[in-house]
């Protein structure tokens, strides 16, 4: 388990004490790092606790603070039923927490009228971990909010406002992440301080430290090989499921390009992060080729930007060309996306939009779920008609999160759950007669 926290100053030796009893924290891990970047308001500390027992509750304390607890992952091959919550495109809940991080006299009105975060907190006993593949906090809307009058801060002080939005979100999510593992992926709003530019403000307004995914690289610590791409693509096993987190924003195999690098769909100023051009694709090929289906019969892939979605004309075509062959060859069961701020469910689909079948029993092609409705600053996106024929369900009126329920090796259910009252908006069950 990786434990991460922020401090106002560099910690010489980040330390986590832990144990299986609240009163006996008799183990200690202190081989972590304390890192920061230009314009950061604090230091990020990361410590990994190794050699833990599976599916076991541990109590822990960082640097003499409060005692919290977490439960470790189920071993690959554990066929016990469990649930996972998936959110994408989720910002802060309102200005109360935000203003705690702003200088006196500065007013910020970064508002998210949804309550997905509150819903996840209320339902915390219903799931074992959270996945959030991209668009985390929306701090890069600082410039847009200044232009549209949501803050009285000058453009030259946008770094302060950017940091305040991030810190407010981190404060809010702590109620979840201090207890539940919080697994993330990269989205376009992690790229730089103003989402590539807004009106008169280009990306060149971003100060050092707030370009090229710097905040994202420093703040998070996902499982992987320890390289700079550690938070961009990785995989892990949990019980009966193999999870692959992939990156739509950088590092697609040429001639395709990640959406936020120079020459990509968004044409930001960002760059690839891999050691060589095909690094991500090679990782995915090798990863999926080595899945042990006897232990992890289900394979779920999660990446930010969709190519099959119930919003005509908004699919990421470079992503389709790059990832679809890998996922079909690797027999991925379910692909989870966000980015488009609505709910969308596909039939099993492949070959550039060909419906493989119109039911969910023994499908040979992946099913694509888009749920970008957790809480985007500007509200939901309207569906664009005509809806593609491979999309049997779309909803552009409800804020939501996704629930994955792994029943056993043959049955997996996906539900869109309403953030307002947790009712089921739409439900399907994938069946594989293994």
How do residues 69-120 score in pLDDT, each as one tens digit?
Answer: 999 999 999 999 999 999 999 988 655 456 666 666 555 555 555 689 999 9
Mean pLDDT of 357-383: 93
128-184 residue pLDDT tens: 999 999 999 999 988 888 887 777 777 668 888 888 889 989 999 999 999 999 999
Integer-rounded Cα radius of gyration of the chain = 21
Q: What is the rounded CA–CA span in Å between residue 142 and residue 145?
A: 5
Q: Tokens for 320, please give them.
A: 């389709």
Are 238 and 129 in contact by the 8 Å Cβ rule? The answer is: yes
CA-wise closest residue to 159 among 225, 206, 93: 206
12 — pLDDT class (breaks 50, 70, 90): very high
297 — pLDDT class (breaks 50, 70, 90): very high
Q: What is the rounded CA–CA span in Å between residue 297 and residue 406?
A: 11
325-345 residue pLDDT tens: 999 999 999 999 999 999 999
pTM of the model: 0.95
Residue 94: predicted pLDDT:
58
CA-wise closest residue to 404 among 73, 66, 85: 85
Residue 31: predicted pLDDT:
86
The topology (CATH level 3) of 75-431 is Purple Acid Phosphatase; chain A, domain 2 (3.60.21)
Residue 280 has pLDDT above 60, yes or no: yes
Residue 354: predicted pLDDT:
97
Whether residue 255 is preceded by a cis peptide bond, meaning omega within 30 degrees of 0, is yes
User: Mean pLDDT for the chain?
Assistant: 92
Mean pLDDT of 188-193: 94
197-243 residue pLDDT tens: 888 888 888 887 899 999 999 999 999 877 777 899 999 999 999 99
CA geometry: angle at 163 spanning 161 and 164, to 5°?
Answer: 60
Which range is least confidently modeled, 108-112, 192-196, 236-240, 252-256?
108-112
Q: What is the rounded CA–CA span in Å between residue 162 and residue 287?
A: 36
**Where in the chain are the domains?**
1-72, 75-431
CATH number 2.60.40.380 is the correct assignment for the domain at 1-72 = yes
| Other residues' Cβ atoms within 10 Å of the Cβ of residue 114 | 23
The most distant pair of C-alpha atoms in the chain lies apart, rounded to whole Å, by 62
Whether residue 386 is preceded by a cis peptide bond, meaning omega within 30 degrees of 0, is yes
Residue 55: predicted pLDDT:
97
420 — pLDDT class (breaks 50, 70, 90): very high
Residue 313 has pLDDT above 70, yes or no: no
CA geometry: angle at 96 spanning 93 and 99, to 5°?
Answer: 115
CA-wise closest residue to 347 among 317, 368, 372, 328: 368
Sequence-distant (≥ 6) Cβ neighbours of residue 196 within 8 angstroms: 188, 203, 260, 266, 267, 268, 269
Q: Secondary structure of the chain in the HEC alphabet?
A: CEEEEEECCCCCCCCEEEECECCECCEEECCCEEECCCCCCCEEEEEECCCCCCCCEEEEEECCCCEEEEECCCCCCCCCCEEEEECCCEECCCHHHHHCCCCCCCCECCCCCCCHHHHHHHCHHHCCCEEEECCEECHHHHHHHHHCCCECCCHHHHHHHHHHHHHHHHHHHHHHHCCCCEEEECCHHHCCCCCCEECCEEHHHCCCCCCCCHHHHHHCCCCCCCCCCCCCCEEEEECCEEEEECCCCCCCCCCCCCCCECCCCCCCCECCCCCCCCHHHHHHHHHHHCCCCCCCCEEEEECCCCCCCCCCCCCCHHHHHHHHHHHHHCCCCEEEECCCCCEEECCCEECCCEECCCCCECCCCCEEEEECCCECCCCCCCCCCCCCCCCCEEECCCCEEEEEEECCCCEEEEEEEECCCCCEEEEEEEECCC
Which range is least confidently modeled, 131-145, 220-234, 291-305, 389-403?
220-234
Residue 5: predicted pLDDT:
96
Residue 299: predicted pLDDT:
98
Sequence-distant (≥ 6) Cβ neighbours of residue 348 within 8 angstroms: 355, 356, 357, 360, 363, 364, 365, 366, 367
Mean pLDDT of 51-68: 94
18-49 residue pLDDT tens: 999 998 999 999 989 999 998 999 999 999 99
CA-wise closest residue to 139 among 199, 183, 90: 90
């Amino acid at each position: 388990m990786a434990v991460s926290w922020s401090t106002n100053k560099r910690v010489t030796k980040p330390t986590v004490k832990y144990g299986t009893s609240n009163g006996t924290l008799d183990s200690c891990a202190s081989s972590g790092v304390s890192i920061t970047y230009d314009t950061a308001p604090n230091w990020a500390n990361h410590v990994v606790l190794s050699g833990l027992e599976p599916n076991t509750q541990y109590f822990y304390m960082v640097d003499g603070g409060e005692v919290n607890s977490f439960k470790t992952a189920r071993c690959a091959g554990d066929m016990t039923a469990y649930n996972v919550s998936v959110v994408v495109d989720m910002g802060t809940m309102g200005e109360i927490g935000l203003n705690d991080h702003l200088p006196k006299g500065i007013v910020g009105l970064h508002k998210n009228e949804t309550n997905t975060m509150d819903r996840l907190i209320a339902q915390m006993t219903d799931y074992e971990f959270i996945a959030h593949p991209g668009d985390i906090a929306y701090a890069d809307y600082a410039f847009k909010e200044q232009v549209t009058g949501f803050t009285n801060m000058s453009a030259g002080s946008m770094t302060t406002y950017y940091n305040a939005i991030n810190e407010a979100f981190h404060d809010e999510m702590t109620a979840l992440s201090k207890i539940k593992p919080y697994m993330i992926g990269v989205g376009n709003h992690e790229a730089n301080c103003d989402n590539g530019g807004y009106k008169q403000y280009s990306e060149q307004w971003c100060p050092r430290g707030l370009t090229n995914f710097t905040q994202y690289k420093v703040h998070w610590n996902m499982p992987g090989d320890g390289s700079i791409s550690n938070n961009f693509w990785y995989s892990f096993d949990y019980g009966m499921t193999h999870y692959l987190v992939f990156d739509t924003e950088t590092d697609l195999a040429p001639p395709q390009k990640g959406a936020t690098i120079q020459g990509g769909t968004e044409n930001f100023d960002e760059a690839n992060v891999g050691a060589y051009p095909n690094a991500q694709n090679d990782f995915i090929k090798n990863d999926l080729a080595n899945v042990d289906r006897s232990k992890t019969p289900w394979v779920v892939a999660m990446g930010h930007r969709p190519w099959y979605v119930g919003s005509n004309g908004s699919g990421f075509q470079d992503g389709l060309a790059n990832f679809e062959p890998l996922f079909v060859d690797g027999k991925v069961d379910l692909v989870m996306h966000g980015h488009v701020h609505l709910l969308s469910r596909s039939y099993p689909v492949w070959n550039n939009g060909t419906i493989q079948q119109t039911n969910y029993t023994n499908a040979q092609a992946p099913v694509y779920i888009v749920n970008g409705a957790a809480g985007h600053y500007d509200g939901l996106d309207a569906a664009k008609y005509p809806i593609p024929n491979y999309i049997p369900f779309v909803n552009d009126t409800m804020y939501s999160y996704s629930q994955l329920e792994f029943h056993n090796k043959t049955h997996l259910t996906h539900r869109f759950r309403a953030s307002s009252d947790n009712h089921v908006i739409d439900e399907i069950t994938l069946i594989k007669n293994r």
